[in-house]
Structure 1
Amino acid sequence: MTTLIIEDEELTARKLGRLLVEVDPAVRVVGTTVSVDESVEWLRTNPRPDLIFMDIELADGQSFAIFDQVPITSPVIFTTAYDEYAIKAFKVNSIDYLLKPVKEDDLRQALAKLQTLRHVLTSQTAGMGSLEGALATLLQQVRDASVAAPVTTTVVLAHTSTNGTYRERFMIKQGQRLFSIGVDEVAYFVTRNKMSFLKTRDDSEWLLDYTMDELAQMLDPQRFFRLNRQIIAEMRAVDKVHLYFNGKLKVILRPAFDEEVVVSRERAGDFKRWLGE
């Protein structure tokens, strides 16, 4: 089964590729793209993959824009750190919606769902047209049913950690020395050049061996909020919030961050509720 991975975090893409092969050795990753434009170009110039794994938030926009620029007949499994796009995801060729970091059991179930659909359609459409056409018809039926039914309840449950607890400390390596930092000392987490860092309240910064998606699942959502793809902030680190253009919010952090921190219009409502609006 050929697979295209659309994911702008290199480490996340590599981990997903390895996990796919572990779950199903028959899977062959034939391409990895990191943006809307690159994905559109790849889909226009390469054979149709059997399956697409698609992150929603890409560096140059949301991946839903890909569907507006190129026909996609392959089934799609969305991967995202957020749950607010579930309804929208099921309006396109989506057979599943997995929250990051992707768990092996969730991935296995999603691939099993695809194989079941293919098996059923192969037996039902023999001599009656293409499997791809039949799959597209069934996906449309699934989308109609999914939009009519509430899908966010099961997705939101993924905000809790697997064992019901959240990380309280992070191990730091400095040369040959190891020490730990408690979450009470953390102001925010930030990613730069595809590496993640922990920023403490006293303005120290330490390298971490986790992606931002993994960190988002480890942290208590009552205390930490993912402001955007680059920053996860602890509540006390939010110094000021300003209204920004087009419904966005501009956040001033403490300790100060060296770039402008903006919360998207889609996330602004959740952010204000998190702050206690």
Structure 2
Amino acid sequence: MRAVIIEDESIAANRLQDLVGQLAPEMEIKAQLHSVAQATAWLEQNPMPELIFLDIQLNDGYGFDILDGLQEHPPVIFTTAYNEYAIRGFKYNGLDYLLKPIDKRDLEQALKKFRKFDVQPPREDWTAVQNLKQMMTKTYKKRFMIKVGNQYSSFKVGDIAYFKSEDGLIFLYTQAGQRHPVEYTLDQLEEILDPVDFFRINRKFIVTVDSVAEIHTYFNSRLLLRLDPNQTEQVIVSRERTTNFKRWLDL
């Protein structure tokens, strides 16, 4: 059983290969490939493997660029540093999508799927991959026009600390401590903000990495945050979002 790992970080590639060796000793990793160019050349010059572990975002492009150049593709297990928001809705398609750092149990489940996978997926199933590609490569909102008094001001996304729902309205909080209403729901903001930089921790808050000043354990498997600018109320990461929040922060 032959496989290749396409991953631009050597440490991540080596760890993945070690985990595969533990969980699927019958699988031979034929190569570790670190770029779109290197992987494309290798796949053109060697027999097609039976499985590809594919990082979505590489230094010289996207893993999808490699697949686009293949007339036929073997099963693919995607690996990505993006949080669950970036791949929600696609979890049931494809062979599997693993979030970095890769959890051994998740990889074990993905390999179980592969062992049951004995036919080439129908071409129409590739639509899910194309949808994911569009999501990963789409342009996210860079600035917000906010009415301040009798005029409008432009706020760059990099100046934003977090968004908060208060009394039916959504407010943008800047890193400088300013507070302004925005004409979006939190659901809408999730769709237009880059999930690498923003994470929805509960029904009231979408936060940035820089706004998380302190993290404390909290009862019932939740986390208590201190944000900057500070909030007088408790800011708690909901239990169902805690695992992905830790992955997002790479805890």
More helix per residue: 1 or 2? 1
- For normalisation by structure 1, the TM-score amounts to 0.45
Query: Please, what TM-score do these two structures have when normalized by structure 2?
Result: 0.50
